[in-house]
């Protein structure tokens, strides 16, 4: 969703109060953010919390590339 908004990773991370490295780990699926961080990410993206959690859940269900590795 951040990529669709065109916001650079570093700028978005700073706006969320986290490091670009941590944001990178969240986006790559290496880290799972706490509930309050998910709310902050949704707020910065300007989307409803349910939208961001649906996207994450859908990607987790349909992304079989990680399961094959």
**What homologous superfamily is domain 2-68 in, according to CATH?**
lambda repressor-like DNA-binding domains (1.10.260.40)
Widest pairwise Cα distance in the chain: 35
- Interior angle at CA 60, CA 36 and CA 67, nearest 5: 135
Residue-range domain boundaries for the chain: 2-68
* pLDDT confidence of residue 9: 93
Query: Is the pTM value of this prediction over 0.75?
Result: no
Per-residue pLDDT of the chain (69 residues; tens, 9 = 90+): 787 778 899 999 999 999 999 999 998 989 989 989 999 999 998 888 887 776 555 555 554 555 555
* pLDDT confidence of residue 7: 87
């Amino acid at each position: 969703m951040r990529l669709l908004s065109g916001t650079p990773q570093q700028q978005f991370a700073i706006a969320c109060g986290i490091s670009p490295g941590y944001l990178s780990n969240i986006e790559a699926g290496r880290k799972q953010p706490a509930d309050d961080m998910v709310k902050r990410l949704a707020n910065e993206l300007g989307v409803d919390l349910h939208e961001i959690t649906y996207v994450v859940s859908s990607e987790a269900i349909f992304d079989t590339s990680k399961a094959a590795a």
